[in-house]
Structure 1
Amino acid sequence: MTASFSPFAGSPFAGGRAPEALTPEDLSAGDLQLLQTARLSATLRHAYDHSPVQRAKMQAAGLSPDDFRAPEDLRRFPFTTKADMRGAYPFGLFAVPRAQILRLHASSGTTGKPTVVGYTAEDLEVWTAVMARAIRAAGGRPGDLAQNAFGYGLFTGGLGFHYGAERLGCTVVPVSGGMTERQVTLMHDFRPRLIFGTPSYMLSILDEFARRGLDPRGCGLEIGIFGGEPWTEALRAEIESGFGIAAQDNYGLSEIIGPGVAIEKAGDQGALTIWEDLFYPEIIDPDTGAPLPDGAAGELVLTTLANTAMPMIRYRTRDLTRLLPGKGSAMRRMEKVRGRSDDMIILRGVNVFPTQIESQLVGCAGLAPHFQIELSRPQRMDAMAILAEALPAHATPEARRQAGRDLAHRIKSTLGLTVEVRVGDPGSLPRSEGKARRVIDLRPKD
């Protein structure tokens, strides 16, 4: 069944056409539900037959794919979590032989091992098509010049936007992240209409324009599509004012497919249309797991409807939002993510957990195993400081400075984050009698 699995089988849209043709946005609510039911049924069967982890979870719940009849039945099936992915590292969640995987991506996890996702040829086709759809919905058009400032590599942002923009018919400038001086030079000389990247990195680009005495509003940009980290309406306003553009939010996560799960359509900021033909959304109470109705705030849960390599059943994203009615479409929208229900920090597009900081700190000579993470926004961009303390035998000013440099280097080398490290005297950090308060968030709220 692995080789013949098709998420389109049995649906009224079977026939091998591309996802854009399969599910036009004027699809009626009834036809959308027919499509979702067919694809959910096929996905559950594929996961049960070919993913030992997913089969074991269903069996433990006393369920099989035969228990699914309609989308509301999905809430009876067990969740998939980040812990399942860590436990199955690296390829244990795949539902096809490894030789059928054409690409691997990965994101960081709490144990230091990455969270691995795989893509078959069919998955890459779906991802490319839905990214093209998303970019167009945000205002992109064939023939646009698009500068891609997302990082390439194991992170899904760079290649996801790259191939989607090419599929749409854009001319892509694959600059990747960093090299801010070059970013500005190319923007000034090439005059792209579109740019993709993290919103915080756009502030660095804005500062480089100012440093060089160039007008960012005169570089030709009209639309920016941003993601990879939560960002506030205040930051959106600053980006839009600075560049004279529309700044659109994109939502995605590597565990589901990467960028492209939902997008702010042009003229509809503040709510992102979810491509419900490919990703089925639910909202649950983050504490109890109980389903919540549309309009209620809670944790977003997603089920993939077309993934062959790694079908994800009811994946707990830990992102807090609510579902809203569609606008000009049967597909629902999600409110801009307002936070997370776990302790993951997203800093300038990089996912980091306090346990990852701890694992680097305990390996540094001269530092006690006590620390706090301080998040701030001193100059519009989010910043992280690690508050540590010296061991008594290493409490001289020079020893503390050296320990701070060592820890900063380890974090930069392993996690890719530039952080400030402040090492205090022995006993200078507060001790907890219960759960340690690891994160102090000093960033202003909207």
Structure 2
Amino acid sequence: MSDHLDDLETRTSDAREADLFARLRPVLEAALSAPAYAERLKGLDPAAITDRNALSRLPVLRKADLPALHRGNPPFGGFVPASPGSFGRLFTSPGPIFEPEGTGADPWGAARGLFAAGFRRGDIVINTFSYHLTPGGFIMDSAARALGCAVIPAGPGNTEQQMEVISAYRPQAYAGTPDFLKILIEAAEARGVDISCIKRAVVSGAAFPPSLQAWVKERGIDAYQLYATADVGIIAYETSAREGMLLNENLIVEIVRPGTGDPVAEGEVGEIVVTNLDPHHPQIRLAVGDLTAVLPGTSACGRSNTRIKGWMGRADQTAKVKGMFVRPEQVAEIAKRHAEIAKLRLVIGRANELDTMTLKAEIYAEPAGLVDAMSSTLQQVTKLKGAVEILPLGALPNDGKVIADERPVG
């Protein structure tokens, strides 16, 4: 039995890049037929986007902006060239954000993650993700069935009935949040119900800390994490190597400095930006709002795609200072105005019952007057006064933060 779903997972990096960017051209062409993308990408020649450097010059579309865009031009904000009736299912997530599902066998690309977790043809999967309006339940359902598994569409809650279903069907696998997996296990233990048939699981949608991982493992369940969003589907998944998460095939994933579309150096924490390869629902440089970093090297599981550390927090670090919003893109603008700056962090504090700001800057060189010039730029961009602190290269933490709100809570 193969350890990999297909040969795409073990191809060379050069072959993967060539394939991704060859397939990107028709996706960009399709995007230009959608009115919102036609305006956003005005003047774009799809044939010119042949590598990551060229792609990085296209504007970022922020997920945080989608609710307003969708409300202004329902249902998809003018970003989808196909009509709603051409899709398989239509969902909504809080915001609201409206998401269409394609008509293929695995439209969300989740099968790779399930296969890496050990799901195989003939397995029975109890799927406890919600099937109501949001796509989570169908993301896992379609993937499991594409692998040849039978699915129990359980949804969340109703533990008594879940116990009955598990006792009757004896599923080998679980899909759902890690929290609900714990609830099911505890309910079974309290009622004396044998659910030892469940040997493997995929979990997503909530934190899965090492303590809970160990607790689940002690009960004989081998659980793997999936990183997914309702817009894109599965972005990355855990494998048997247990070394970060592997990026999914058929996506172009960039890590950029928060508040910008500028790619960071490998290993530096930044915001996840995804470009998919679906001409019916193109998503060009969608900034999903989550932070991560690329891990060096390749996975011991034999898959050759890039690995990331997994979810490392939110990129939206907007803060309110003295009644004014300060945003990551403003910090990025300050950096652009001073070539000496290598890295910036705006630290917000509290002193004498007043908000304070300190712009901490790693710099390559310090010409005369740099501190005063940066102080002036800080005030011009944010409309607020703040101090400037010069730091040596490497002094700031590598955690993706460009705004650190250190004011006491409460």
Match 2:38 to one of 34, 43, 55: 55
Match 2:20 to one of 36, 43, 49: 36
* CA offsets 1:241-271 (integer angstroms, 9 cap, x no match): 2x31111001111111x3x332112x22242
Aligned to 1:236: 213
Instruction: Answer yes or no: is the 8 Å Cα contact 2:10–2:305 preserved in 1.
Output: no
Deviation at 1:233, TM superposition (A): 2.0
Aligned to 2:326: none
Deviation at 1:63, TM superposition (A): 4.0
Q: Matched residues in 1 for 2:47 and 2:11: separation?
A: 27
Deviation at 1:200, TM superposition (A): 0.9
Aligned to 1:117: 99
Q: Matched residues in 1 for 2:29 and 2:314: separation?
A: 31
Deviation at 1:186, TM superposition (A): 2.4
Deviation at 1:137, TM superposition (A): 1.5
Indicate yes or no: 2:42 matched with 1:70: no
In structure 2, do the counterparts of structure 1 residues 168 and 298 end up closer, same or farther at CA, with 3 Å as the change threshold? Answer: same
Q: Matched residues in 2 for 1:79 and 1:288: separation?
A: 8
Aligned to 1:310: 281
Give the letter for the 1:326 counterpart.
T
Q: Matched residues in 2 for 1:58 and 1:439: separation?
A: 42
* CA offsets 1:126-185 (integer angstroms, 9 cap, x no match): 526x32232112111111111111111222111111121111111211111111112223
* CA offsets 1:347-373 (integer angstroms, 9 cap, x no match): xxxxxxxxxxxxxxxxxxxxxxxxxxx
In structure 2, do the counterparts of structure 1 residues 67 and 88 end up closer, same or farther at CA, with 3 Å as the change threshold? Answer: farther
Alignment of structure 1 residues 297-336 onto 2, 5 Å: 297-305=269-277, 307-324=278-295, 325-327=297-299, 328-336=302-310
Deviation at 1:118, TM superposition (A): 1.4
Give the letter for the 2:26 counterpart.
A
Aligned to 2:197: 220
| SS in structure 1 at match of 2:201 | strand
Indicate yes or no: 2:169 matched with 1:198: no
Q: Matched residues in 1 for 2:310 and 2:63: separation?
A: 22
Q: Matched residues in 2 for 1:439 and 1:41: separation?
A: 49
Aligned to 1:246: 222
Deviation at 1:201, TM superposition (A): 1.0
Aligned to 1:262: 236
Give the letter for the 1:222 counterpart.
K
Q: Matched residues in 2 for 1:298 and 1:222: separation?
A: 35
Deviation at 1:303, TM superposition (A): 0.6
Deviation at 1:66, TM superposition (A): 4.0
In structure 2, do the counterparts of structure 1 residues 295 and 199 end up closer, same or farther at CA, with 3 Å as the change threshold? Answer: same
Indicate yes or no: 2:252 matched with 1:280: yes
Give the structure-1-normalised TM-score. 0.65
Q: Matched residues in 1 for 2:247 and 2:409: separation?
A: 31
In structure 2, do the counterparts of structure 1 residues 227 and 282 end up closer, same or farther at CA, with 3 Å as the change threshold? Answer: same
* CA offsets 1:201-231 (integer angstroms, 9 cap, x no match): 1121122123213455xx2111110002233
Show structure 1 runs of 4+ deviating over 4 A: 437-440
Deviation at 1:24, TM superposition (A): 2.6
Deviation at 1:439, TM superposition (A): 8.4
Q: Matched residues in 1 for 2:61 and 2:82: separation?
A: 18
Indicate yes or no: 2:78 matched with 1:97: no
* CA offsets 1:359-388 (integer angstroms, 9 cap, x no match): xxxxxxxxxxxxxxxxxxxxxxxxxxxxxx
| SS in structure 1 at match of 2:258 | coil
In structure 2, do the counterparts of structure 1 residues 125 and 210 end up closer, same or farther at CA, with 3 Å as the change threshold? Answer: closer
Aligned to 2:137: 158
Give the letter for the 1:156 counterpart.
P
Give the helix-richer structure, 1 or 2. Answer: 1
Instruction: Answer yes or no: is the 8 Å Cα contact 2:227–2:236 preserved in 1.
Output: yes
Aligned to 2:316: 342
Match 2:263 to one of 291, 299, 303: 291
Give the letter for the 1:298 counterpart.
G
Deviation at 1:83, TM superposition (A): 4.3
Aligned to 1:108: 94
Instruction: Answer yes or no: is the 8 Å Cα contact 1:251–1:263 preserved in 2.
Output: yes
Q: Give structure 1 stretches of 5+ with no counterpart.
A: 1-19, 345-434, 441-446
Give the letter for the 1:310 counterpart.
H
In structure 2, do the counterparts of structure 1 residues 71 and 125 end up closer, same or farther at CA, with 3 Å as the change threshold? Answer: farther
In structure 2, do the counterparts of structure 1 residues 41 and 230 end up closer, same or farther at CA, with 3 Å as the change threshold? Answer: farther
Deviation at 1:108, TM superposition (A): 0.3
Instruction: Supply the RMSD in Å over aligned alpha carbons.
Output: 2.5
* CA offsets 1:24-60 (integer angstroms, 9 cap, x no match): 3222222211101112222222112x1211221122x
Q: Matched residues in 2 for 1:227 and 1:270: separation?
A: 17
Aligned to 2:107: 127
Deviation at 1:190, TM superposition (A): 2.6
* CA offsets 1:70-110 (integer angstroms, 9 cap, x no match): 2321100000112442213323221113332332122101x
Q: Matched residues in 1 for 2:66 and 2:11: separation?
A: 34
| SS in structure 2 at match of 1:330 | coil
In structure 2, do the counterparts of structure 1 residues 341 and 83 end up closer, same or farther at CA, with 3 Å as the change threshold? Answer: closer
In structure 2, do the counterparts of structure 1 residues 138 and 439 end up closer, same or farther at CA, with 3 Å as the change threshold? Answer: farther
Give the structure-2-normalised TM-score. 0.70
Q: Matched residues in 1 for 2:102 and 2:141: separation?
A: 18
Indicate yes or no: 2:186 matched with 1:207: yes
Alignment of structure 1 residues 143-154 onto 2, 5 Å: 143-154=122-133
